[in-house]
Each structure stands twice: as C-alpha cells, then as structure tokens.
Amino acid sequence: MTDLYNELTGNSKNMADQNINEADESNESGKYEGDEDLQDQDISFTEYEISASPNDFNVRTLFDFIDSGIVKVPGFQRSYVWDIKRASKLIESLLIGIPVPQIFLYEQAKNNFLVIDGQQRYFTIYFFKKKRFPIKEKRFELRRIFEESKGFPENVLSDNNYFVDFNLKLSGKLPDRPNKFNKLNYSTLAEEDRTALDLRTIRNIIIKQNTPDDGDSVIFEIFNRLNTGGVNLKPQEIRTSLYHSKFYEMLYRINLNQNWRKLTPQNTPDLNMKDVEILLRGFSMLIDHENYKPSLSIYLNRFSTKAKKFSDELIEYFESLFLEFVNKAVEVDSKIFFTRGGRFNVSVYEAIFVALCEEAYKNQDLNVKATSVQNVNKLKEDPEFLEATQANAASATNVSLRIKKAKQIL
C-alpha cells in the first residue's frame, strides 16, 4: 500500500496543475448550507490489497476505448467543463510532444473501466477526433444522451444545436513564427501531424481493489488524496464515479425534475453535484436514519454501496415517491427548504423529506403526508430544531432530533 500511495501522490506539482485545469470555474454550491461534515474529511486508510499497473496507451486507443464503451465515465463525475481554448491547449501539447498528466482508471471487471481522474482529457481527445465540440448550455442534456445511447449518435454530433466544429483555438502567433495548428481540426491537420497525434501516448494507471471485498471503498480514499494538491473535487463528484448504479441514474433523472428545480437555488443542476448529494442524503435518511452515525461522508459512501443492490422495482418506487413529495412541497412554498437568510438548508430538507415520506415508505405506497407553510415556519423557528441544525449538525443526536421534531410539528 505504501508503494502505491507514493506512486499515486509522488508527482504533487503535476497533480496540482492537473486538478486546477479540471476545476470548474462556476461553482454554485455556496448557495447551500448544512453540509459542514462533508467539507473537510480526514479519513485514515484501512488495510487494502491493491494492484496498480501503469499502461501507456496512444491517442487512437484512448479514443477507441470511449467509442467502444470499454472505458466509461458513469454519470459524468461532472459534466464536461473545459472551454475550447483549454481543450485546444491539450491537443496542442500532444501535437508538439509535451507530456500531459497521467490518467487513473478503475478496473471494475475485464474490459470494463471507470475514469476516476482524467475525464476532461479523455473527452477532449474524443471530441477532437470527432471534430465536434459540445455547446456549454447543452452539456447536461448531452450527459443524459451519452449515458442512454452509450455514446453520441451521429445525428446528435452533427446537430448544431448541440455541437460546433472543433477547430483549434490557439494563439495565432508564436514568438518567432505563426502557430501552424491554429484553426485546424483533426481532418485538416497535415497527415504527418495527424499520425503523430494518433500515436502519442498518455500514461494510464489502472487500479484494482483485491481485498477487502466491500465494493470500491479504496478508490474513494485514493481519489480524495489525489486531489489534495490542487482544487479538490467535491465528495459527491468522487462518489458518483465510484458507486454508479441504477439508483444513481434515478437520482440524476429526478434532479432534472421541474418542480425540484423550483425548490432549489438554481434552475440548472449544480456542476459539483451538490444537489445530487442532497437527494442521496434524503433517501439515505428515509431508509436508514435509525442506524446513522458519523461521519456523514462515510455513511453516504456505505449507503451508495448498498444502493447498487436495489431492485428495479424499488428504484422505480423511490422515483415515484420523490416526485409525489416535490409536487406537494412546491404547492406549499417554493422556498420551503430555505432559511430566512435565503440559503437552501440541507438539514431542513432531509428532516422534512423523512417526516412527510416515512409512513408512505413503510407502507410502500405514495401517500405522502401534506403539511402547511404555517407548520413549516413553526418547525424552522423551533429552538430545539434550530440548535440541531447549527453546531455539530451531523452528529447522530442532532440528526435524530431534527427528524423527531419534524415529525411532531409537520
């Protein structure tokens, strides 16, 4: 384990540069509160038996991996966030032979890999060889299309409502000569440059957890440490890659629901998946709040592992239950989960969600309890409830108290 850890974290400057490049510039998560337990986790390693093997794959092979479905980005750790200038710089680096940061893959099964670090580079290569670049406003929709179709159909790639031509957008001039790659695409590159690009290699570290047999727990911890040198990915961005399941696919679907979006701070999903994490927290507390104990991050990881085994019928039920809940919630008040300060409070949301849905869940029906804006305001003003949402909000005592008060008052 020590040798692997040193290998993973040895090139700290390289990793820091990589993470800064892949960081999203428009994080909206500051509009939420009540998630302090998830912000700065310091979790020690368990003893693991892990294999990590370096492989140098060329650009043509990396493209084929995605095009064939061998390498997946389940749920997209985040949507593709690079702009065309940043993407062009990566292609230019490959064309002129500048090394680029290594990619980390997790081996789920034979010929089945997840990108756990490097999806922006993977998809930049994919888009450049396809000669199309995704329009920013369409990337959430494109994420859904990619997952459902196991790739981008040709009619979508050719649709100018979704993509534009990927012509390199580089500085027009170098200090002593014009930049010969500026405005070119994959087809218009000189043949020798196109061949050189296809044969350029990028190091891929393939990680596999051998023991313990508890799912993919080690990958969360390794990946969290990979990001400590730069701009960290948020816990849910990591979690969504590692615990991909039909249950998570359901979370992505309901996160796009029109009424749910009315109840959140923004009309479009959060790029750092804060809203998906809120949905996950609500369901975990609805199903298993009696067994909750800190840390919240570990609790959500373990619940995500359990959720992989949920039946299709149960997942379909959860989706219907949630939709019934938000339909009733939006009728009460679109700011039902907000504090007086105008911020969405996660603790308020999960307490109300559990209180109104628990009986329906136990009966496996859709009879979500109704409430009123007066009762909701009474809950938010209750001194015990307020105290339980503030200091040490993620303690087992305060989680239990919030849900208890919500059941009593609502």
Q: What is the pLDDT of residues 312-354, one digit of tens each?
A: 999 999 999 999 999 999 999 999 999 888 899 999 999 999 9
What is the pLDDT, as a whole number, of residue 185?
96
Round to whole Å and give the CA distance between 175 and 169.
17
pLDDT tens readout for residues 29-72: 467 777 655 554 444 445 667 888 999 999 999 999 988 888 87
The answer to whether residue 148 scores a pLDDT higher than 90 is no
Q: Both tokens of residue 265?
A: 């701070």
What is the pLDDT, as a whole number, of residue 283?
98
What is the pLDDT, as a whole number, of residue 248?
92
Of 13-22, 102-111, 164-173, 188-197, the range with the highest mean pLDDT is: 188-197
In this prediction, residues 273-277 reach a mean pLDDT of 91
pLDDT tens readout for residues 351-389: 999 999 999 999 999 999 999 999 999 999 999 999 999
Residue 174's pLDDT band, with cuts at 50, 70 and 90, is: low
What is the pLDDT, as a whole number, of residue 233?
62
The residue ranges of every structural domain in the chain are 49-210, 233-409
pLDDT tens readout for residues 6-32: 333 334 333 333 332 333 334 444 677
Ramachandran angles phi, psi of 290, nearest 5°:
-70, -20
What is the chain's mean pLDDT, rounded?
84
The answer to whether residue 141 scores a pLDDT higher than 70 is yes
Nearest to 136 by CA among 84, 72, 92: 84
Buried b (16+ CB within 10 A) or exposed e, 139-177: bbbbbeebbeeebbeeebeeeeebbeebbbbbeeeeeee
- What percentage of residues in the chain have a pLDDT greater than 70? 81
The answer to whether residue 230 scores a pLDDT higher than 60 is no
Residue 245's pLDDT band, with cuts at 50, 70 and 90, is: confident
The answer to whether residue 159 scores a pLDDT higher than 60 is yes
